[in-house]
């Protein structure tokens, strides 16, 4: 007599049908200690995930205390280390994706879903990054514009008088990092030629060419270590935004948005994602994750 509730028995039957069809030979090994069968571990993982238990220690605790999990695993208790090693093994991500597809096919074959209509809903999940690692688009545009103004003035007043090759700048267009690299090469050529002249015609004491060389070195450091670095950084930021207003420095796919959980009640923006799922008859048939905070910008893509 089975003591597990009927919903758990149904989950067990569907999970076994899917895992039975899918080959797990890639997770079997001929060497080492006697191993747990991959199908057993996979079934335990899927059931634990369905119960919102994702920690290896909590899954191990479920195997020891949860009646439905004991029914599924045959009362075996697997160490959390084994569970964690199994779910990060090579090929596990592809296996879970294929199992999800097979589950959809099985539901269709048993006429539990018709696929004629789907119900779409979304929720926001917080990213596993520092909440203070933000980059804002408005701030980036503001600082980039100030940098462009500063470079235009600096080039006209400091750089142009020091070199023989004329530098023509369009005040209506921004100076790119590639242009700054070319400017740095011109300055290096001018500095090399000036240094050669000083060595060929040495003069004791104060010398106009030596003063010019010191200024060239100072300008070159300013272009390479300051202007080029900041300009390239802002260019990378603009490419990373991709139509968004913010992103995280440590996870460029995460966007800062308001979460449902707001314990401080201050509307703080946190890095996260917008998870969209499509269901029918309470079965999740499709899912995707987006960096857009609102559902209206994901409905067409989904």
pLDDT at 59: 96
13 pLDDT more than 80: no
Q: What is the pLDDT of residues 165-211, one digit of tens each?
A: 555 666 667 889 998 998 888 888 888 888 888 777 776 666 677 88
Owner of token pair 């993982």? 45
For 248-264, what is the mean pLDDT? 88
> Taking the complete model, does pTM exceed 0.85, yes or no?
no
Average pLDDT, the chain: 84
Lowest mean pLDDT among 32-46, 123-137, 242-256: 32-46
pLDDT for position 12: 53
The number of angstroms, rounded, from the C-alpha of 90 to the middle of its chain's C-alpha atoms is 20
**Nearest by Cα to 283 from 112, 80, 97, 89:** 112
The more confident residue out of 34 and 217 is 217
């Amino acid at each position: 007599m089975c003591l597990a509730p009927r919903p758990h028995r149904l989950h067990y039957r569907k999970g076994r049908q899917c895992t039975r069809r899918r080959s797990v030979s890639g997770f079997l090994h001929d060497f080492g200690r006697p191993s747990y069968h991959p199908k057993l571990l996979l079934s335990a993982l899927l059931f634990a995930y369905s119960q919102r238990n994702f920690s290896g220690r909590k899954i191990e605790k479920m195997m020891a205390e949860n009646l439905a999990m004991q029914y599924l695993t045959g009362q075996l208790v697997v160490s959390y280390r084994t569970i964690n090693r199994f779910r990060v093994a090579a090929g596990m991500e592809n296996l879970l994706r294929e199992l999800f597809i097979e589950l959809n096919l099985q539901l269709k074959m048993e006429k539990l879903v018709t696929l004629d209509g789907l119900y779409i809903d979304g929720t926001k999940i917080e990213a596993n990054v520092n909440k203070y690692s933000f980059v804002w688009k408005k701030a980036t545009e503001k600082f980039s514009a100030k940098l462009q103004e500063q470079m235009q003035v600096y080039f006209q007043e400091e750089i142009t008088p020091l070199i023989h090759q004329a530098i023509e700048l369009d005040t209506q267009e921004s100076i790119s990092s590639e242009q700054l690299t070319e400017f740095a090469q011109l300055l290096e050529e001018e500095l090399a030629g000036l240094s050669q002249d000083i060595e060929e015609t040495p003069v004791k004491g104060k010398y106009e060419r030596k003063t010019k060389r010191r200024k060239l070195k100072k300008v070159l450091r300013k272009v390479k270590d300051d202007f080029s670095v900041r300009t390239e950084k802002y260019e990378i930021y603009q490419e990373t935004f991709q139509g968004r207003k913010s992103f995280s420095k440590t996870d460029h796919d995460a966007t800062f948005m308001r979460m449902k959980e707001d314990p401080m009640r201050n509307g703080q923006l946190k890095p996260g994602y917008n998870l969209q799922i499509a269901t029918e008859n309470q079965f999740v048939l499709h899912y995707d994750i987006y960096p857009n905070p609102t559902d209206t910008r994901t409905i067409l893509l989904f």
